[in-house]
Amino acid sequence: MELNQADEVLSSPLAPNAKDNLSMMHSKFIGCKLYISESRNPTAIAAIDLAAKTDPQVAVLSKFEDSLYNRVRYTLVSYIIDGSSTGEVIYSPIRKVLLAMMEAAFSAINLESHSGAHPRMGVNDDLSFHPLGQATMEDAAYLAKQVASDIGNDFQVPVFLYAAAHPTGKPVGAIRRELGYYRPNHMGNQWSGTMLPDVLPIKPDEGPTNVSSERGATTVGATPFVEAYNVPVLSKDVATVRRITRRLSGRGGGLPTVQALALPHGDDCTEIACLLDPDHVSAYQVQTVVEQIAAEEGLEVEKGYFTDLTKDRMLDKYLKITAD
């Protein structure tokens, strides 16, 4: 089975010695993962790629596409500047680049004609912000709320805040369950077209309460850095793999902090797509638990794979890219 691996994409270079200059000028950096509901339309992806290159101080460190999920994830990093008196974030070039990428996505993608094996509720489905370097979770949350306000005002799209960006720390999974995000609406295990009602059952934090069927809605949050690790289970029995997933996830009493989904991936495979906090759980632990539970069900498991850079490489790679 052929699996798409993370493609590394480099932004435009800065001048020589930029790595030293950036690390001397800035101590706070921000990472953002932008998930867009498209990977089969090369014209749309090319437009988003172009928008991602509008500022050389923002680097796209990796890009992961999956045609079966019909979804792409961009991982971006840049610096942030805060006010000397307030300590609040007053500027990051990543904000403008993200908005340019989302505008390109909205212009090229219609959710009504989108389908895939991964849940989604919007063209720009999710943005998660992660502090790097000496940046704090408060910095990430402040920037997340700035971008959420931009999305709601500029694109008239409902935005739901989660984790540190939400007033009570509401997790993204809770919001998605309230909105029916995890319920397939096409052919048993597929998502097709719009899946939200015209009037939302819960009030968004930004933007209108009415939903455009072409654009959908967006979630925006701030969390500790998470690693994405997918484990292929060689079975078409999605229900059985979902039982494995429940026992694996932190919510189901399994490994703490692990979030997991069982998703069809081709004719003979169901993938367990995991998000894990590397400070608490390793990919090795995830792989071992999946193999143990799958063996009880009589199922074979392939070696899992990362879809993104690990936390340890993120900042070093950014400084190297912007210096080359």
Q: Please, are residues 22 and 99 in contact by the beta-carbon 8 Å criterion?
A: no
Q: Which segments of the chain have a pLDDT < 50?
A: 1-19
| pLDDT tens-digit series, residues 196-209 | 998 899 999 999 99
Catalytic annotation, residues: 118
Cβ neighbours, 10 Å, residue 17: 10
Kindly report the length of the chain. Answer: 324
**pLDDT the model gives residue 123:** 98
Q: Structure tokens of 208?
A: 């209108």
The pTM of the full predicted model, rounded to 2 decimals, is 0.90
- In the numeric block, the tokens 């505008």 are attached to 103
Q: Please, are residues 32 and 130 in contact by the beta-carbon 8 Å criterion?
A: yes
**pLDDT the model gives residue 22:** 60
Which residues 6+ apart lie within 8 Å of 189 measured at CB?
117, 238, 263, 264
Q: Structure tokens of 115?
A: 């389908």
Distance CA 260, CA 252 (A): 10
Please report, rounded to a whole number, the percentage of residues in the chain having pLDDT higher than 70. Answer: 92
**pLDDT the model gives residue 86:** 73
| pLDDT tens-digit series, residues 53-66 | 999 999 999 999 99
